[in-house]
Chain A
Amino acid sequence: MADQRPNPDVLLASLQREEQKARRGRLKVFFGMCPGVGKTYAMLRAAQQELLDHVDVVVGVVETHGRAETEALLTGLTVIPRQSIDYRGSVLTEMDLEAILARRPRLVLVDEFAHTNAPGSRHPKRYQDVIELLDAGLDVFTTLNVQHLESRADAVRQITGVTVRETVPDSALELADEIELIDLTPERLRERLAEGKVYVAERAANAAENFFKDTNLTALRELALRFVAERVEKRLRELRAAGPTKTVWRSGERLLVAVGPSPFSTQLVRWTRRMAAAQGASWIAVSVESARTLTPDAQRRLDQNLALARELGAEVVVTHDENVADALVRVALQNNATQIVVGKSRSPRVLDLLRGGSLVDRLLRISGPIDIYVVPAERAAERTGAWLAWSPRTLSPSREYIEVGAVLAAVTAVNLLAARLTGYQTIGLFYLLTVIVLSLRVGRGPMLLAGTLSALAWDFLFIPPIFTFYIGRLEDGMLCSAYFLVAIIAGQLTSRVRAQQRHERLREERATALFHLTRALSAAATLDEGVFAALRQADRLFGGETALLVPQPGTDALVAHFAGSFQVSEKERSVADWVWRNGKEAGRFTDTLPSAAGFHVPLKREDKCLGVLVVGVPPKVSLSLAQRDLVEGFATQLALLLEREELQAASEREKLLAESEKLHRTLLDGVSHELKTPLAVLRGAAERLPDDNTEVGGIGREMRTATRRLNRLVSNLLDQTRLESGTLRPKLDWCDGHDLINAALDGTRDSLGEHPFDMNVPEDMPLFRADAALMEQVIANLLLNAALHTPAGTPVFLAAGVDHPRERVFFTVADRGPGFPAEMRERLFQKFQRGDAARAGGLGLGLSIIRGFVAAQGGEVVAGENPGGGSVFTVYLPYTPHGAVPVE
């Protein structure tokens, strides 16, 4: 019995999906079995409903196909005009993605999810446009027929005989938050067709005979219904996985499919994807590279198949092995795959026997607990598939065949001369030597030819009776047969060894390339040097030109690094820009902006894109999947380099800052000490003078007042300097409001003496976080300001408390002075700004310091008018309550 815990992987995946969705717009798909069921109609109806709810809806693109009832539903909706694309003289119109993104509506209607865009558009497919809209946070309604679904395209072709070219990967549909099935019975649909509601008259008749046959419709309808049902079931499973459940949970199912270059592999990939989806399992697509060289065509198809698998959600693994069965089982075990999917072998039985059984036989022998699924090839695919599958094995370059013929002719000529001296048996050894030497140079096919030709030549020209293929003596016959077998086997063996060597070499080259790169990068003293080394390596390795684009510091624009050899045109720059913003590959060999000249790869570290690597190869040359992986490897290394540089620069800055801060503090402390010491002496001396009505007493009083004022000035200047040097580091701690106010009052009592003072602070004012020393000065400065800038005898009032709803602490000082005009308010907090009514001197630094100190603690200070005359200053600080304190 399986355990009852929810599978953490499934939970995580469903959580991640939720999280991704939170940022994305919502996608709703109106899903149907075929054209004419009323998807667009339903979508517009839904849009009208949204419009009633005051949602900002725009029409990105809607095809009404001239259906009147559909067109009527467009009224009231804003239609974004399509953009025109000039393609080889004719003008095509496409949805204007930029205009929609600029307009930023809540909801966009995008008809025909599977549509292929005109060449030159940003994305080749409309669904990619939709993904960009969703990424930008816009909601999208769209329509889709079942036959356009990648994983169902095969089934539809089998049912209807129509090959569907416009397909949407299933992964794109999985983004949908909601799929609404627009269902119609086949009878009703045919009625609609007859009424001309689907196609205009002449096309309707045609369509009715072909596509809209009853049998077709029933099958398509079942397909559509099943798809939606499967999806619902999958959702249910996710829901079930999210909560503890008693049902048995099949976790850890993992499918592995063997992928080759044949078109049949394409079907196999889709089949596996369907099965994986049905089981809720993950899947891997494995390609086994062996010694055989693939023709460029086959290589391209293999890459396509692997790309398809990746697109359908598979993890792609490429491995090297001469024995396909061994390789599959090895990869399956490494990846914990529980099921292996292979196609039914198409190779002749005889060859299977030679290889020690068919692939399936061998798999069954060694697979142990892993289930093996054998999927029969479809008849049509088999024909082409078998031929294509064989072609790479038998076709070696014709040059090699010519070489084999020439060498054998030459050796035969020499042998003809030598035969008189050595006898015909030794000639066989000469031939054998020739064949083995040849095997070091040519492929398997030419070797087969060399073995056969040399055996025939030996028999015909040398073995008596000569000039016949007849062999007179039994031992000659045995000798000849043995020779033939040895030649063939030797040829096979050497060519296999050679091929393996070549593969090793390729792999090694790849590893060496990355190794050299890492070494060059770590040896590089500067960033530029590293980039230069990396790009030159890349040039050599990919046989093309490369460029590196990095964001210019301080701006939003990418600039090409000078070490690049690839000329970055305006168009390439815009591609790179897209890559940098989206963190995804684009350009040639990809699905985004494939018309670009370069292959653009983001340099990503975690979530940050540090730049873009561009690889441009000549137009005819293509980069294989392996090479593209290598490009990505390069990109990773370059990203590491850039990141290292960035971190270094940052730590360098930190160090400099810390040093200058230390210097500043030392200097300030020194200045502070030097200024305050004579002040202390002055104050002490003045205090020792008698406080009476004699002349000396008067001088003492004047001195004390002057000292106080001087002290205030010096303190303010020092504080302002501290603020401006940027070295002020508030130490936030829990503060008691009463303590702060008491300390501030202690320092200002003398100055406040002539003003009636009152305050209102709740006795149980809670603690809050602030820098006590700074806050004391802030409150003291507010009180001093009130005292100094108002006529003697006018009252000063202080209030403090916590504004719970807005989560802030406030300290307010109000006076009944002349106040200040409203337009002065902002200027008040500037340096050296003095109120008009400033009675005593001062530099006008008080408020500027208050503002600086309060800002440093994350708060703000506001000046206002006191109702009934005077001014009010209020300081706000953020408030969070402290944790509970036990009574113990």
Chain B
Amino acid sequence: MKSDQAAKPDVLVIDDEIQIRRLLRATLEGAGYAMREAATGQLGLSEIAFRRPDAVVLDLGLPDLSGLDVLKRVREWTEVPVLILSVLGQEENKVAALDAGADDYLTKPFGGAEFLARIRVMLRRNKADDGLTVVKFGDIEIDLARRVVGKAGDEVALTAKEYALLRLLVLHRGKVLTHRQLLREVWGPQAEEQTHYLRVYVDRLRRKLEDDPTRPKHLLTALGVGYRLVAE
């Protein structure tokens, strides 16, 4: 996989705007990443195929292929983490991209720190396929093998659906899961329209796990899109 020196993770940026590429190069290299770039979707696809980057940053508005098309082709053969860049007004495309398997999204203009944080989470998740059965964040501990959830040392009683939802978010921690994905996985394909189920269950989970359920730190909302578990 990583043909470079072991230490430097490789990030591919697919964006037709040279200024954005330059800016991201400065940002990424300043943070210790190696960066490749592609100006079109086609070039990006071959870069991914031949160079096997560790993460991909994909702009939704490309001149040749739409970002969504690029993503769908990528997902045909690799699970490389993909961060979507979009502007306001492309909400539907953004959700479609997440549904199609993108890991996260950022809306332009975005801050450099925010950008780096997302990249970091994506890379960690990719590396974290390590068969760990116990996941810890804050004072919360989840034992996936024993199906036990604890907070500050005490066991937390979860219902079957609550646990299923939490487990899904934990397995994809860092990644934004759309409403549709969550509903389909936990309640089944026929429940995709029952969005209030999801809201109510996330609320119940927050009440059991978060210190302040109205200001969650881990079970975060991606407004109008879905949820994400932040395990930091």
| A→B interface (CB under 8 Å) | 665, 668-669, 672-673, 676-685, 687-688, 707, 711, 715, 718, 722, 731, 733-736, 738-740, 742-743, 761, 763, 767, 771-773, 776, 882-883, 885, 887-888
B76 to chain A, nearest CB (A): 26
Contacts of A735 in B (CB 8 A): 199
A449 to chain B, nearest CB (A): 85
Residue interface bits B110-148, CB-to-A below 8 A is 1, else 0 = 111100000000000000000000000000000000000
Q: Are B223's CB and A885's CB within 8 A?
A: no
Known: A680-B110, A684-B112, A736-B221. A888 touches B160 (CB 8 A): yes
Taken together as a complex, chains A and B put the C-alpha atoms of A347 and B58 apart, in Å, by: 99
Q: Are A767's CB and B196's CB within 8 A?
A: yes
Q: Are A680's CB and B109's CB within 8 A?
A: yes
Q: Can you name 20 extra interface pairs (CB under 8 A) apart from A736-B221, A773-B223?
A: A665-B89, A669-B87, A672-B89, A677-B20, A680-B108, A681-B17, A683-B109, A684-B24, A685-B23, A733-B195, A738-B213, A739-B221, A742-B215, A742-B221, A767-B199, A767-B200, A771-B224, A772-B223, A773-B91, A883-B196
Taken together as a complex, chains A and B put the C-alpha atoms of A773 and B94 apart, in Å, by: 13
Enumerate the 7 nearest inter-chain pairs by beta-carbon distance, A residue then B residue, closest first. A680-B109, A772-B224, A882-B196, A680-B108, A734-B196, A684-B23, A739-B221
Q: Chain A CB within 10 Å — which of B24, B161, B197, B223 has the most?
A: B223
Taken together as a complex, chains A and B put the C-alpha atoms of A734 and B200 apart, in Å, by: 10
Task: Give how many B residues have a beta carbon under 8 Å from the other chain's beta carbons.
Answer: 39
B125 to chain A, nearest CB (A): 22
Q: Are B112's CB and A773's CB within 8 A?
A: no
Taken together as a complex, chains A and B put the C-alpha atoms of A887 and B159 apart, in Å, by: 7
Taken together as a complex, chains A and B put the C-alpha atoms of A771 and B92 apart, in Å, by: 13
Q: Are A684's CB and B196's CB within 8 A?
A: no
Q: Are A677's CB and B113's CB within 8 A?
A: no
Residue interface bits B194-217, CB-to-A below 8 A is 1, else 0 = 011101111100000000011100
Taken together as a complex, chains A and B put the C-alpha atoms of A277 and B163 apart, in Å, by: 70
Q: Are B214's CB and A885's CB within 8 A?
A: no
Taken together as a complex, chains A and B put the C-alpha atoms of A680 and B215 apart, in Å, by: 28
Q: Are A679's CB and B200's CB within 8 A?
A: no
Of chain B, the residue at the smallest CB distance from A681 is B19
Of chain A, the residue at the smallest CB distance from B201 is A885
Taken together as a complex, chains A and B put the C-alpha atoms of A885 and B162 apart, in Å, by: 12
Q: Is B6 interfacial (CB-CB < 8 Å)?
A: no
Q: Are A743's CB and B88's CB within 8 A?
A: no
Q: Are A677's CB and B213's CB within 8 A?
A: no
A812 to chain B, nearest CB (A): 17
Contacts of B112 in A (CB 8 A): 684, 687-688
Q: Are A681's CB and B20's CB within 8 A?
A: yes
Contacts of B90 in A (CB 8 A): 669, 672
B103 to chain A, nearest CB (A): 20
Of chain B, the residue at the smallest CB distance from A769 is B196
Q: Are B159's CB and A679's CB within 8 A?
A: no
Contacts of A685 in B (CB 8 A): 23
Taken together as a complex, chains A and B put the C-alpha atoms of A707 and B20 apart, in Å, by: 16
Q: Are B109's CB and A673's CB within 8 A?
A: no
A682 to chain B, nearest CB (A): 7
Of A687, A736, A740, the contact of B111 (CB 8 Å cutoff)? A687
Taken together as a complex, chains A and B put the C-alpha atoms of A135 and B157 apart, in Å, by: 65
Tell me the chain B residues, 44-89 only, with Cβ under 8 Å from chain A.
61, 87-89
Contacts of B221 in A (CB 8 A): 736, 739, 742-743
Taken together as a complex, chains A and B put the C-alpha atoms of A676 and B85 apart, in Å, by: 11
Q: Is B26 interfacial (CB-CB < 8 Å)?
A: yes
Contacts of A740 in B (CB 8 A): 223
8 contacts between A and B (CB under 8 A): A672-B88, A680-B109, A683-B111, A684-B27, A684-B109, A767-B200, A771-B224, A772-B224
Contacts of A722 in B (CB 8 A): 89
Taken together as a complex, chains A and B put the C-alpha atoms of A887 and B207 apart, in Å, by: 14
Known: A683-B111, A687-B113. A763 touches B213 (CB 8 A): yes
Known: A679-B109, A740-B223, A773-B223. A718 touches B89 (CB 8 A): yes
Taken together as a complex, chains A and B put the C-alpha atoms of A734 and B89 apart, in Å, by: 20
Taken together as a complex, chains A and B put the C-alpha atoms of A771 and B111 apart, in Å, by: 25
Contacts of A888 in B (CB 8 A): 159-161
Q: Chain B CB within 10 Å — which of A673, A684, A888 has the most?
A: A684
Q: Are A676's CB and B203's CB within 8 A?
A: no
Taken together as a complex, chains A and B put the C-alpha atoms of A767 and B30 apart, in Å, by: 43
A734 to chain B, nearest CB (A): 4
Known: A672-B87, A885-B200. A680 touches B20 (CB 8 A): yes
Of chain A, the residue at the smallest CB distance from B160 is A888
Of chain A, the residue at the smallest CB distance from B26 is A688
Q: Are B61's CB and A761's CB within 8 A?
A: no
Q: Are B199's CB and A676's CB within 8 A?
A: no
Residue interface bits B170-204, CB-to-A below 8 A is 1, else 0 = 00000000010000000000000001110111110
Known: A677-B17, A681-B19, A885-B196. A743 touches B223 (CB 8 A): yes
Contacts of A772 in B (CB 8 A): 223-224
B221 to chain A, nearest CB (A): 4
Taken together as a complex, chains A and B put the C-alpha atoms of A513 and B58 apart, in Å, by: 68
Q: Are B224's CB and A676's CB within 8 A?
A: no
Q: Are B89's CB and A679's CB within 8 A?
A: no
Known: A680-B110, A683-B109, A688-B112. A738 touches B223 (CB 8 A): no
Known: A669-B61, A676-B87, A883-B196. A688 touches B108 (CB 8 A): no
Contacts of A887 in B (CB 8 A): 159
B177 to chain A, nearest CB (A): 15
Taken together as a complex, chains A and B put the C-alpha atoms of A673 and B85 apart, in Å, by: 11
Taken together as a complex, chains A and B put the C-alpha atoms of A684 and B22 apart, in Å, by: 10
Taken together as a complex, chains A and B put the C-alpha atoms of A666 and B30 apart, in Å, by: 36
Q: Are A688's CB and B27's CB within 8 A?
A: yes
Taken together as a complex, chains A and B put the C-alpha atoms of A738 and B223 apart, in Å, by: 11
Q: Are B88's CB and A738's CB within 8 A?
A: no
Q: Are B89's CB and A668's CB within 8 A?
A: yes
Of chain B, the residue at the smallest CB distance from A888 is B161
Contacts of A761 in B (CB 8 A): 214
Q: Chain B CB within 10 Å — which of A715, A739, A743 has the most?
A: A739
Of chain A, the residue at the smallest CB distance from B90 is A669
Taken together as a complex, chains A and B put the C-alpha atoms of A763 and B88 apart, in Å, by: 30
Of chain B, the residue at the smallest CB distance from A678 is B19
Contacts of B26 in A (CB 8 A): 684, 688
Taken together as a complex, chains A and B put the C-alpha atoms of A672 and B61 apart, in Å, by: 11
